[in-house]
Structure 1
Amino acid sequence: MNTTNTFGDRVKELRKQKGMNQEKLAEVLFLESKSTISSYETNRRMPAADVLAGMAVALETTVDYLLNGEIEKNETINQALLILQQLSPELQKVALEQINILNRL
């Protein structure tokens, strides 16, 4: 995955890598039209936090990468972040508690 210059560039690149058109991504994110995705990809708008989180899951990346273009170098951390993003807030809390327990060992 190449680091690109803008949020919109990163969204477009990842969407294409997934073989999705704008309409399909809009559908996955429960947005009304592909024009919303177009406005994100051209940097005219930024998504709300809930849409951004869903976008990261749909594009199998992290919110940090979408916003900042930064890719965590540790693949284990990348995988853990992707899994955590897909959990409900309650399960995220449980998972973090378990990580803290492991960290104390």
Structure 2
Amino acid sequence: MNTLGSRIAHYRKQKGLSQQALANECGWESQSRIGNYERDTREPSFEDLRRIAKALEVSVNDLFGSTMQIAESQDGRYTAENVLSPRSRQVLERLTLAASEGRLVEQDLILLEQIARRLEKTDG
């Protein structure tokens, strides 16, 4: 389970859902969207990730795996932990606003994942 797509497939199968059933749970007519995400041929938007996570009864963090963890509350909104600097809090608040307004696109998620990978390398 080293890609986002493989984690989506894992949790879908664990829940006993077909791609079509998961698509229906997310409010989509066709299963091709799920198939594309699972094959990693298409990156889901943040809103699509939230729908998938809700349908699979997992967190967005579960879908991201250890590559990128997001501070999340029960309602799916980000929370600013006490360990964050004021600048980091400001960035997190802007990301939260952008996500809630649907302004994060696939390239944003890719960039955020790349940043998370670099931070992991510097932490170790």
TM range (shorter): 0.5 to 0.7
Q: Provide the identity percentage.
A: 38
Find out whether 1:50 has 2:47 as its counterpart: yes
Q: How do residues 22-101 of structure 1 correspond to structure 2 at under 5 angstroms?
A: 22-67=19-64, 69-70=65-66, 81=73, 83-85=74-76
2:4 alignment counterpart: 7
Q: RMSD between aligned alpha carbons?
A: 2.4
- For 1:21 and 1:14, the matched residues in 2 are separated by 11
Deviation at 1:65, TM superposition (A): 2.2
- For 1:15 and 1:35, the matched residues in 2 are separated by 14
- For 1:57 and 1:27, the matched residues in 2 are separated by 12
TM-score of the aligned structures, taking structure 2 as reference length: 0.53
Deviations 1:77-101 (A, max 9, x none): xxx84x323xxxxxx69xx7xxxxx
**Which runs of 5 or more residues in structure 1 are unaligned?**
71-79, 86-91, 97-105
**Which runs of 5 or more residues in structure 2 are unaligned?**
67-71, 80-124
- For 2:37 and 2:48, the matched residues in 1 are separated by 11
Segments of 4+ in structure 1 off by > 3 A? none
TM-score of the aligned structures, taking structure 1 as reference length: 0.62
Count of matched residue pairs: 76
The counterpart of 1:18, out of the listed 15, 21, 24, is 15
Deviation at 1:32, TM superposition (A): 2.6
Letter in 2 for 1:7: L
- For 2:45 and 2:26, the matched residues in 1 are separated by 11
